[in-house]
């Protein structure tokens, strides 16, 4: 049986209502400076409890569908409609974009890395890497991995996970990527109750795992690192400046803003960090938001995992 890594699932719940207003305040802000930050510790993988078998969605079939449609376009068995940009099917949009880029019918924008459409972003990146390194397997492994979430894939095999970091290190052979690959090859990390135990016994180690999770899910970007660093400070009880709170909210709107528009809930630790940053900056919020933050703080003070905090009596 294949070993399955489950990327965190986003459920449709109340956090969209609580945080959508706050996100809007920062969606208009400029990008955080796009530069690499040197990691001082190795990455560690993190997983959430596996989904029931009947809800698993494998990686390979949907990527093969994109590749198949791309080949049909190349052989002229299929044709791209004039209104291809409005296509709702993500598989078709990915194949159309890849084909048009490969034929030079559309150009890679100079600021392609700022593209908010995740499918376009993944295919722009693929085309850019092909220009830089040639049409080699490692380019497609990296680009395909970044295409998974926009295509609706919620789980990846351990082999896919490791292959991504192998490709990353092949293309960009630096110390950070070397350590990331080493950690990806380590035995499957703990999850569930064991992860809750790690959080109590070693918050620093837990924060490293959470950082790795965000990078695996959202990409190794400056914004993701800002979010991870802020959550670490919050977990360790370290002081946060107002400037750090503002930068975190800005980064968070850039990494999760698209999901907010799609009415998804965010992971609880990110929700808590978002509410704490808002509170420190004295951003005006509604009563539901204040109660939600109180609930988080009560759970944290009592050592109750956030995923169990709904059992707390808010009026206690």
Dump pLDDT digits (tens) for 19-59: 333 433 333 334 433 333 333 222 222 222 232 233 334 45
Question: Collapsing DSSP states into helix, strand and coil, what is residue 239?
Answer: coil
Q: Is 179 exposed, middle or buried (0-12, 13-18, 19+ CB in 10 A)?
A: middle
Question: Collapsing DSSP states into helix, strand and coil, what is residue 145?
Answer: helix
198 pLDDT higher than 60: yes
**Residue 257 pLDDT:** 61
With residues binned 3-state (H G I as helix, E B as strand, rest as coil), the percentages for the chain, rounded to 5, are 60, 0, 35
Confidence of residue 266 (pLDDT cuts 50, 70, 90): low
Confidence of residue 17 (pLDDT cuts 50, 70, 90): very low
Tell me how far apart the alpha carbons of residues 183 and 213 are, in angstroms, rounded to a whole number.
12
Name the least confident of 8-12, 119-123, 147-151, 306-310.
8-12
Q: Mean pLDDT for the chain? A: 74
Q: Which residues are within 8 A (CB) of 265 and not within 5 positions of it... i.e. 6 or more apart?
A: 10, 11, 12, 13, 14, 15, 16, 271
8 Å CB contact between 100 and 126: no
Q: Which residues are within 8 A (CB) of 230 and not within 5 positions of it... i.e. 6 or more apart?
A: 240, 244, 245, 248, 273, 277
8 Å CB contact between 129 and 143: yes
273 pLDDT higher than 60: yes
Mean pLDDT of 226-235: 94
């Amino acid at each position: 049986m294949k070993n399955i890594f489950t990327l965190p699932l986003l459920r449709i719940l109340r956090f969209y209502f609580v945080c959508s207003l706050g996100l809007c305040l920062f969606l208009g802000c400029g990008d955080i400076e796009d530069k690499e930050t040197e990691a001082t510790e190795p990455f560690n993988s993190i997983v959430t409890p596996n989904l029931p078998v009947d809800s698993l969605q494998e990686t390979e079939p949907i990527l093969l569908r994109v590749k198949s449609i791309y080949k049909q376009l190349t052989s002229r068995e299929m044709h791209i409609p004039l209104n291809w940009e409005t296509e709702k099917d993500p598989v078709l949009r990915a194949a159309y974009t890849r084909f048009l880029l490969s034929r030079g019918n559309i150009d890679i924008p100079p600021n392609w890395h700022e593209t908010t459409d995740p499918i376009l972003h993944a295919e722009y990146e693929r085309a850019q890497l092909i220009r830089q390194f040639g049409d080699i397997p490692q380019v497609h492994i990296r680009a395909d991995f970044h295409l998974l979430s926009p295509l609706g894939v919620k789980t990846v095999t351990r082999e896919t996970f490791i292959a991504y970091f192998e490709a990353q290190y092949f293309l960009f052979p630096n110390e950070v990527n070397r350590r990331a690959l080493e950690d990806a090859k380590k035995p499957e990390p703990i999850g569930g109750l064991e992860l809750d135990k790690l959080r109590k016994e070693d918050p620093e180690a837990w924060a490293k795992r959470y950082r790795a999770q965000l990078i695996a899910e959202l990409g190794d970007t400056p914004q993701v690192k800002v979010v991870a660093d802020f959550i670490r400070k919050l977990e360790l009880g370290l002081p946060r400046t107002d400037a750090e709170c503002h930068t975190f909210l800005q980064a968070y709107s850039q990494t999760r803003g698209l999901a907010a528009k799609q009415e998804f809930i965010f992971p609880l630790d990110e929700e808590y960090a978002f509410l704490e940053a808002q509170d420190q900056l004295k951003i005006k919020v509604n009563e539901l938001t204040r109660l939600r933050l109180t609930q988080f703080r009560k759970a944290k003070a009592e050592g109750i995992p956030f995923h169990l905090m709904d059992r707390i009596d808010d009026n206690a």
